[in-house]
Amino acid sequence: MNASRPASSRPASPDDVHELCLSLPEVELGISWGDRPTYKVPRGPRGRGFLLHRKPGRTAIDPATGEPYDDLLVIVTPTAEDKEALVGDESTPFFTVPHFDGYNAVLVQQSRLGELTYEELAEVITDAWRSRAPARLLTSRDPTRGPAAGRTGRPPGPPQAGAERRSGRSGAAGSGPSS
């Protein structure tokens, strides 16, 4: 970690995932897909996953090695358009596999998070959280907006770097693949 650079412009790291997720209201680290560590909102039995650590499997194979990826994160996107924007942007490490066709989520290797800035990772994680958070949390996070605006907007404050490539976010994520 480079302490001389502000958090927003330094490269993201796997440790940032945990810190960013738990900095959002009513997030807990739980389990889904059987035994996978998953960040959920809100806390408790009604929590909905927005980021999970994916188990290596035959549906996500590294083309360079022919082996299953062993460090994948699955991050929910608010819409199919958001997913396509992230996957289609060659400057980011986000990708998808056929197993996730029809599901609003992107994959990213933890070992490639440094290709993003902390701010870019924070934006993607916050958007994932917004797509799964109950309306009461969205309103309380930014009382000037209603629930629908909270699902589509950015965190309060000035526009964030990279926002132009991830513009047009709206709606909530659908249900995901079963494994």
Q: Domain segments of the chain: what residues? A: 14-155
Q: Where are the beta strands (DSSP E) in 66-138?
A: 72-76, 105-109
pLDDT of residue 141: 61
CATH code at 14-155: 3.90.1150.30
121 sits in which H/E element: helix 118-132
pLDDT of residue 147: 36
Q: 68, 57 in Cβ contact below 8 A?
A: yes
**Would you give per-residue pLDDT tens digits along the chain (179 residues)?**
334 445 568 999 999 999 999 999 999 999 987 889 999 999 998 999 999 999 999 999 999 999 999 999 999 999 999 999 999 999 999 999 999 999 999 999 999 999 999 999 999 999 999 999 999 999 876 533 433 333 333 333 333 334 333 433 333 333 445 44
pTM (two decimals): 0.75
Q: What is the DSSP string of 43-77?
A: SSTT-EEEEEEPPP-TTSB-TTTSSB-SSEEEEE-
